[in-house]
Amino acid sequence: MPETKTSLKEDLQSLFSKPHPGDAEPTPEERAALRRRQVETVIRFCWALIVLKSFVVVWAFNHYRMPFSPLWVVAPTVGFAALATAAYYYLRD
């Protein structure tokens, strides 16, 4: 039985582009729930990056003895991220 060779790109495209045989089309509510989960995963990942950035900024300010506070960098980042997150949760439904 000969095997057909496919590239990784073709495998990934077929995996993500076509529904599996026998699967029903998701309802609009299911699609909305899936989209919300995806967006909330991205939000969590971004918050993790913000926490990492905050630690790096505080370390860099202490290590290189900057003449101003690290809060000038960290506070706007956290503030705008909190505003964006709050806006998403307020407007999502």
In a domain, 52, yes or no: yes
The answer to the question of residue 86 being in a domain is: yes
Whether 21 is covered by a domain: the verdict is: no
**Model pLDDT for residues 39-73, shown as the tens digit of each residue:** 999 999 999 999 999 999 999 999 998 899 999 99
> What pLDDT does 25 receive?
84
Residue 6 included in any domain: no
Calpha distance 93→88 (Å, rounded): 9
Which domain range does residue 68 map to? 27-91
Please, what sign has the CA dihedral across residues 68, 70, 75, 81?
Answer: positive
Do the domain assignments include residue 13? no
Q: Is residue 11 domain-resident?
A: no
Cβ(88)–Cβ(35) under 8 Å? no
Instruction: Kindly calculate the radius of gyration of the chain based on its CA atoms and give it in whole angstroms.
Output: 22
Is this model's pTM higher than 0.85 or not? no
Angstrom distance (rounded) from CA 74 to CA 67:
15
46 belongs to a structural domain:
yes
